[in-house]
């Protein structure tokens, strides 16, 4: 029997369409394709809770899925509004369903806020492009989510917000200089969430499409000297993604091997599917 996975799109329509215009897919479509690449027996549905009136596909219940994953988002928890509140309500329902639960970036922030945590703008500023020197905590060093990760690693990222105060039942699994929680396990209402502040699902090409779209404001923030430098950076990311033998680019941009090898880059998603989703499917008698 196929794995039944649900990908929850964190973005409202305008941000989805902008991502699709630059990359060719919405974030949720891209995320679903990555999950199927890891688990070819998976069938992925997509839901759009930021949109008014959005429902689960095909009238399914959350318990019908073997795993539920939440994408990143251009939204901010602290801004509130109906698009945020609908997603918080959905996250609480996912916890209560006890379905295997995962999230990247916004997904971590949403799961934390839905279970009593606090999300704020990062006082240390934006982290974009590559999250450097992520280090597992003592708990993370032996946690199944990070199985295969070394004592320090890099990962694709783009975020301005962080989980500043974790929910009461949180195990912090990894951190770096710019984010006190880069990976975590959260328990709430009988459910368990695994998530990361970075984006293991992003290829360098998808990352480049996001950064290029924001090159002008990033230049104004001082991330790049000017917009053209930002576009040049994105062009090199794309070229390196096309040709991993371009060690000159990898050296110049500081791109580590774990960003070029899909097996390494997708570590957390692979671990979630093999160590959380499949066992839960079996426990529910759907193996």
Active site residues: 105, 199, 201
**Short-list 11, 6, 41, 39, CA closest to 25:** 11
Residue 187 token pair: 């328990």
CA distance 13 to 59: 22
**Short-list 45, 113, 44, CA closest to 75:** 113
CA distances (Å), 43 to each of 1, 3, 88, in order?
A: 10, 6, 25
CA distance 208 to 251: 17
Residues 6+ apart with CB under 8 A from 233: 129, 208, 211, 224, 253
Residue 191 token pair: 């459910």
């Amino acid at each position: 029997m196929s794995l039944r996975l649900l990908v929850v799109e964190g973005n409202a329509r305008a941000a989805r369409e902008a991502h699709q215009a630059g990359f060719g897919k919405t974030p949720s479509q891209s995320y679903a394709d990555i999950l199927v690449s890891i688990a070819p027996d998976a069938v992925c549905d997509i839901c759009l809770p930021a949109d008014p009136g959005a429902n689960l596909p095909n009238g399914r219940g959350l318990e019908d899925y073997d795993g539920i994953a939440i994408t990143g988002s251009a939204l901010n928890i602290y801004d509130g509004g109906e698009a945020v509140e609908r997603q918080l309500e959905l996250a609480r329902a996912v916890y209560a369903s006890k379905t295997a639960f995962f999230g990247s970036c916004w997904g971590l922030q949403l799961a934390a806020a839905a279970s009593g945590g606090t999300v704020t703008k990062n006082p240390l500023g934006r982290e974009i492009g590559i999250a450097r020197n992520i280090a597992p905590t003592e708990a993370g060093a032996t946690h199944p989510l990070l199985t295969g990760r070394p004592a320090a690693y890099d990962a694709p990222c783009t975020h301005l917000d962080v989980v500043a105060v974790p929910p009461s039942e949180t195990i912090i699994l990894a951190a770096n200089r710019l984010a006190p929680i880069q990976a975590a396990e959260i328990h709430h209402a009988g459910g368990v969430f695994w998530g990361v502040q970075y984006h293991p699902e992003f290829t360098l090409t998808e990352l480049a499409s996001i950064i290029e779209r924001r090159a002008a404001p990033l230049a104004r923030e001082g991330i790049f000297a000017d917009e053209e430098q930002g576009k040049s950076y994105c062009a090199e990311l794309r070229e390196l993604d096309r040709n991993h033998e371009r060690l000159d680019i990898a050296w110049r941009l500081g791109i580590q091997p774990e960003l070029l090898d899909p097996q390494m880059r997708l570590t957390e998603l692979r671990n979630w599917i093999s160590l959380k989703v499949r066992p839960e499917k079996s426990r529910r008698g759907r193996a």
